[in-house]
Chains A and B, each alone.
Chain A
Amino acid sequence: MKYKWKLHPSDYALGENEKFYSVMEAKGWRLKKRGAHWSQFEQVLPSQARYRIEVAKVDFLEGASGALPEEQLAIYEDCGWEYITSRRMLHFFRAPEGSDAPEFYQDPRQQAETLKGVRQSLLIGLVVSFVFLILLVPILLTFRGGAEGLIAWIRKLWLLCPEIPLFYTLILLSGVFVSILDTWQISRTYRRLKKGIPLDHAPKKRGLLRFILDPGLPWLAMLCLVLLAAQLILYQRDELPIEPDGPYLVLRDLGWNQARTESLGNTSRRDHTRTFLAEFWETREYVENSGNVEISLYQEIYCLKNGLDPMDWVDSLTVNQIFVKDLDAYTRVEIEGLEAAWVAENGMEAIAVQGQRMAYLTYLDGQYSTEHLVQLLEALSVRWAVYK
């Protein structure tokens, strides 16, 4: 037996689905199973057949699940309708064209009653989703740094892992628009039936907009997950090399030649990843010091791509850091070879921008002086000039 899968119309386009399955049967493919987006067909001899969909009662209060009662199924089958399959509250029947099997309903108003529960549950779902989204806003604003912190975090995430915000945006958009469209579609069908206008079992067009929203957007979201998986596979986390292999510094460049050590269980390491928007290095390094506290250097280096200007993004670097969160609290300094540079008054943090590169650095040398930060930025400028 040969089988094939084909994308079907959305659940609430009842007439479109009925026509779709009739056309498939005429081509020699009979419906076997219906999934979320795809239907499975088995090969048969081409024939003319009518397909009809019964929408089972859905009622939260009475606890109706959307299954079709056995008694109802028996009446339909006795009348000549062959039960094929079900998907959630939709139940699919077929009868050969020209058979005596009567239409399910003579009066469209009676059929309208079957859609009442689905329509109500879709409307309730829509309201609940919007309330949930509204409630989500204050929760998101409790994020470190409030709305500004959240935006900066999303901006950084967008550079480092664009697949995640893209995935959530696509899923959210698809969820919202599909819910609205489903509710609109079923409400429209319900109103027409209620007015006594029979269901069109062979409507002409299939909405392109509908296809873009569902399954188009969920597919794109899935593609984002695949790209994310690829990025995670290619993500590198290694011990920090003695000689830097990227546009970053090691403490030896600053004259610290002591042996590397651990800090709170962390060892010196280098992370590296690339996306279609940026290439990114993150390093942390610890070396022994004569006192109790080790010398450490933490760096986030971005090399932006596709025409992104680091000056538009540099303020996102500080917001989620531990010490100074606002770039305006930094002091601008002139460093040869850097387009822009800032140092924090705490003597620990510095920012640099040059060409497509931008960097955030935390330097803990026990002295905590802005002069040392300037030396750090000068060393970085030399490193960037050497590493193209």
Chain B
Amino acid sequence: MQEQGPMTEAMYYVLLALLRPGYGYGMMQRIKELSRGRLVMGPGTLYGVLSRMNKDGWIILKGEEGRRKNYAITAKGREALLTEYERLLRLVEDGSLLKEELR
């Protein structure tokens, strides 16, 4: 199995937002909320990420309301998110040396 590479910030937050199923604009609001206003995702970025993840099987289409599509994270996506989360944790842990050095 191919090793999972690092995710982009957009991918990470989309997966995080989709822990609760949602549609495009709702997801953008959720991402803004999750990042405490730091990340305002552009609609082009969001659509690109959704298309790619849907293709890769990380998210799945749950239903449609007119032109809007509802997505949810899949087990594969959840696993990928967890792997990325653990990778980020390790990065932060490794970086704790910085705090000691600065002290």
Question: Which interface residue of B8, B43, B47, B67 has the most chain A CB atoms within 10 A?
Answer: B43
Q: Least Cβ distance of A201 to chain B in Å?
A: 13
In the complex, which residues of chain B have a beta carbon less than 8 angstroms from the beta carbon of A72? Answer: 43, 47
Decide: A78 and B44 in contact? CB cutoff 8 A.
no
Decide: B24 and A74 in contact? CB cutoff 8 A.
yes
Decide: B42 and A78 in contact? CB cutoff 8 A.
no
In the complex, which residues of chain A have a beta carbon less than 8 angstroms from the beta carbon of B68? Answer: 71, 74, 78
C-alpha spacing A69/B67, complex, angstroms: 9
Whether A70 is near chain B, meaning CB under 8 Å from some CB there, is yes
In the complex, which residues of chain B have a beta carbon less than 8 angstroms from the beta carbon of A73? Answer: 67
* Chain A contact residues: helix, strand, loop or mixed: helix
Given the interface pairs A70-B67, A75-B24, the reply to whether A110 lies near B43 with Cβ below 8 Å is no
Whether B45 is near chain A, meaning CB under 8 Å from some CB there, is yes
Whether A97 is near chain B, meaning CB under 8 Å from some CB there, is no
Whether A154 is near chain B, meaning CB under 8 Å from some CB there, is no
The residue in chain A whose Cβ has the minimal distance to the Cβ of B24 is A75
C-alpha spacing A132/B46, complex, angstroms: 41
Decide: A71 and B43 in contact? CB cutoff 8 A.
no
Decide: B44 and A104 in contact? CB cutoff 8 A.
yes
In the complex, which residues of chain A have a beta carbon less than 8 angstroms from the beta carbon of B25? Answer: 75, 78-79
Residue among A70, A81, A102, A114 making CB contact with B41, cutoff 8 Å: A102
The residue in chain B whose Cβ has the minimal distance to the Cβ of A76 is B43
Whether A54 is near chain B, meaning CB under 8 Å from some CB there, is yes
Q: Least Cβ distance of B20 to chain A in Å?
A: 18
Whether B5 is near chain A, meaning CB under 8 Å from some CB there, is no
C-alpha spacing A43/B28, complex, angstroms: 34
Q: Least Cβ distance of A82 to chain B in Å?
A: 13
Whether B69 is near chain A, meaning CB under 8 Å from some CB there, is yes
Given the interface pairs A79-B25, A79-B28, A113-B48, the reply to whether A74 lies near B42 with Cβ below 8 Å is no
Closest 3 CB pairs of A and B: A104-B44, A78-B25, A75-B24
Residues of A whose CB lies within 8 Å of any CB of B are: 54, 69-76, 78-79, 81, 102-107, 110-111, 113-114
